[in-house]
Amino acid sequence: MADKVRIGLMGAGFVARVHADCYSAIPGAQVTCVAAGGLDSARAFAGETGIADTVAADALVARDDVDVVDICAPNRFHENLALGAIAAGKHVIVEKPLTGFFDTPDGAQDVSRATMLKQALASADRIIDAAAAAGVKVMYAENWVYAPSVQKARRLLAASGGAILEMRGEESHHGSHSPKAKRWADAGGGALIRLGSHPIGVMLHLKDIEGRRRTGEPIRPVSVSADVADMTRDVASGADERKWIVHDWVDVENWSTAIIRFSDGSRGVVSANDICLGGMRDTIDIFASNCRVHCDFSRSSLLSAYAPDAEVFADEYLVEKLETKAGWSFPNVDEHWMLGYHHELQDFVGAVHDDRAPVSDAGLGRSVLNVIYGAYLSAHEGRVVTL
């Protein structure tokens, strides 16, 4: 393997910028080109991030100076882009979710959730099987797994030797960076798949590790029960009530809660919503038989700041999804580091360079989809769903 792992970036949106920023600080990583929905947006992105070249998506996977295709495109394109890269013999990084169900031309309301679950898993299997046949890696970009707080929590739990009894995880936002988040045909679901995939991924990861440590066998999710809603349609229906929150969701939920039952009888409780004012809320609480661990990814006590007017800090980034820079705030001193993006991409670059397995792979991505679409089926039919 050459000294540099050469990366072709698919996408020019928010998360593509995060990835580009992280690669620039990772020794051995080189982003050689970027492709996006339009060449103009790709060129603008390349100019702002210092990427040398812009190309069309089909040209990117054919380039000799691309070892890895990093897919940061909208969710509905993940499978096709991944399969195209794999067919060209490239390793693949896929942003969460790995894939999903998007065939909702008339809206998602009347589509069978059982069909969604079956077809989402079939899509994941096509990616996994193609990669195995081609001998390339599929790396699932679940940054929470790599967050320093989660990695320290994993070591604390291993040191304790205790059993995880319950986990409570939340990712709540003030809407999304992308207008495509409001339509099932683009996103594959709402808050649960876009945001809940993070705490679900961590829970599955930690229980898998715990099982292998304690008995030599992974502890897996066996059932899920859930509820979902569009709170801005069902509850906050007036203009005054919706003044401060993101609304106009088309056919996806902006509020969700799921309870996961694991094979050892432990539970995971997941909350995800898009109705959260005051900046993101990203947390994991772990209740074990002999210890308790709390992870907070978005709100750090390292730094706090006060401004009497939003214009005081107008030119400085504080924290993602904060509506105003007035009053007290808790600026994140290094958001990419705190949320695990840097560690995630560093692991992926190392996995390709050293020809080893990544910590977060397509198997985890598939398992997360199983829980999420099982949760959609549960919410739709009002019952516990066996996975």
Q: Give residue-wise pLDDT tens across range 313-358.
A: 998 888 877 888 999 888 878 888 999 999 999 999 999 999 999 9
- Cα atoms in the Cβ-side hemisphere of radius 13 Å centred on 70: 28
Answer with the one of 93, 123, 142 that is the final residue of a domain: 142
Any domain includes 349: no
Which pLDDT score, from 0 to 100, does residue 238 have?
84
Domain containing residue 82: CATH number: 3.40.50.720
Any domain includes 246: yes
Structure confidence by residue, pLDDT tens digits, 63-110: 999 999 999 999 999 999 999 999 999 999 999 999 999 999 999 998
311 CB-contact burial (10 Å; exposed 0-12 / middle 13-18 / buried 19+): exposed
Query: Both 111 and 195 in a single domain?
Result: no
Any domain includes 346: no
Answer with the one of 84, 117, 142 that is the final residue of a domain: 142
Q: Give how many domains the chain has, as a whole number.
A: 2
Residue 14 to residues 11, 73, 207, 350: CA-CA distances in angstroms?
9, 10, 30, 24
Q: Is residue 236 predicted with pLDDT exceeding 90?
A: no
Which pLDDT score, from 0 to 100, does residue 274 have?
95
Answer with the one of 94, 118, 142 that is the final residue of a domain: 142
Neighbours of 269 (CB within 10 A): 16
Residue/partner pairs of 41-44 with CB below 8 Å, 24 or more apart: 41/12, 42/12, 44/12
Which pLDDT score, from 0 to 100, does residue 76 have?
97
Per the structure block, which two tokens stand in for 123?
């899509």
Q: Could you tell me the residue range of the domain that residue 279 belongs to?
A: 144-341+374-386
Q: Which helix (H) or strand (E) holds 190?
A: none
140 or 178, higher pLDDT = 140
Per the structure block, which two tokens stand in for 256?
């969700």
3-state class (DSSP) for residue 113: helix
Domain containing residue 253: CATH number: 3.30.360.10
**What confidence category does residue 2 fall into, taking pLDDT thresholds of 50, 70 and 90?**
low
Which pLDDT score, from 0 to 100, does residue 383 have?
98
What is the residue-averaged pLDDT of the chain?
94
Query: Both 106 and 197 in a single domain?
Result: no
Which pLDDT score, from 0 to 100, does residue 108 have?
96
Please tell me which of 128-137, 177-186, 299-308 the model is most confident about, judged by mean pLDDT. Answer: 128-137
Closest CA to 344 of 1, 32, 72: 72
Q: Is residue 1 predicted with pLDDT exceeding 80?
A: no
Any domain includes 365: no
**What confidence category does residue 242 fall into, taking pLDDT thresholds of 50, 70 and 90?**
confident
Query: Both 111 and 175 in a single domain?
Result: no
Which pLDDT score, from 0 to 100, does residue 329 have?
86
Give the separation between CA 360 and CA 66, rounded to whole angstroms. Answer: 21
Which pLDDT score, from 0 to 100, does residue 300 have?
74
Query: Both 256 and 323 in a single domain?
Result: yes
Q: Give yes or no for a contact between 195 and 172, defined as CB atoms under 8 angstroms apart.
A: yes
